[in-house]
Amino acid sequence: MKFFVDTADTADIKELAATGLLDGVTTNPSLILKAGRPMKDVIAEICDLVEGPVSAEVTATEADAMIAEGRSLAAIADNIAVKLPLTLDGLKACRTLTDEGRMVNVTLCFSANQALLAAKAGASFISPFIGRLDDINIDGMDLIREIRIIYDNYGFETEILAASIRSANHVKDCALVGADVATVPPAVLKGLVKHPLTDKGLEQFLSDWAKTGQSIL
């Protein structure tokens, strides 16, 4: 499974990119607001930091305007994935931009039928929102399972990009049911490495090593 980080904080992205574990970045207007800088400046800097897809979201709601904004965003860098909402206008824009050879991430997916339509429209990525479904007492992981089955049934190449991830368990469960990508907040991604027994074991090893009085170098 690929790991994207869901942030527009370039300091976090640079830190995570240095680990070699980061496959891409997703942003949205809310994250751009937090960044407090011009959108295109932020996106351009992110594209310089990572080689993988960087999702940049349109703000228009009508297809022709979405297409125009998508082309403008795609001109920032070769690794831009234009992010479009899962509406009829968004799907129309998706087909046009995809036919032009651009990557498209269709976002705000909450049903398997929506995901099927996005794949038919040629989306590079579909972004089902797990956490927001969990918030209304619907198991978001069931949606990932349904999309996986449908895509496998028909050989769709659209990648399932699990979004609105809130916890390490979300990440694990996404991997178990076959999501292609998980886009994760920086704190959650960094937290995946943590385990109390790892910390305890390392503390013991270092303590015992100090008692030997030796040095590796």
pLDDT tens digits in sequence order for the chain, 217 residues long: 999 999 999 999 999 999 999 999 999 999 999 999 999 999 999 999 999 999 999 999 999 999 999 999 999 999 999 999 999 999 999 999 999 999 999 999 999 999 999 999 999 999 999 999 999 999 999 999 999 999 999 999 999 999 999 999 999 999 999 999 999 999 999 999 999 999 999 999 999 999 999 999 9
Model confidence, pTM: 0.94
Query: What does the alpha-carbon distance between residue 16 and residue 23 come to, in Å, rounded to a whole number?
Result: 10
- Catalytic option among 14, 40, 83, 172: 83
Query: What does the alpha-carbon distance between residue 158 and residue 123 come to, in Å, rounded to a whole number?
Result: 6
Provide the pLDDT for residue 136: 95
Q: Which two tokens stand for residue 122?
A: 């040629």
Instruction: Give the tens place of pLDDT for each residue, 96-105.
Output: 999 999 999 9
Q: Which helix (H) or strand (E) holds 24?
A: strand 24-26
Question: Within a 13 Å sphere around the CA of 121, how many CA atoms are in the beta-carbon half?
Answer: 28
Residue 216: Cβ-neighbour burial (10 angstroms; 0-12, 13-18, 19+): exposed
Provide the pLDDT for residue 118: 98
Provide the pLDDT for residue 107: 98
172 is catalytic: no
Tell me the C-alpha to C-alpha distance, in Å, between residue 87 and each of 71, 92, 94, 110, 205.
18, 9, 10, 12, 55
CA dihedral 177, 178, 180, 184 (to 10 degrees): 20
Domain 2-212, CATH: 3.20.20.70
User: Left if phi > 0, otherwise alpha if psi is -120 to 50, otherwise beta: which for 2?
Assistant: beta
Query: Radius of gyration (Cα) for the chain, nearest Å?
Result: 19
Q: Which two tokens stand for residue 205?
A: 């090893």
Q: Which two tokens stand for residue 188?
A: 């959650």
Domain boundaries, the chain: 2-212
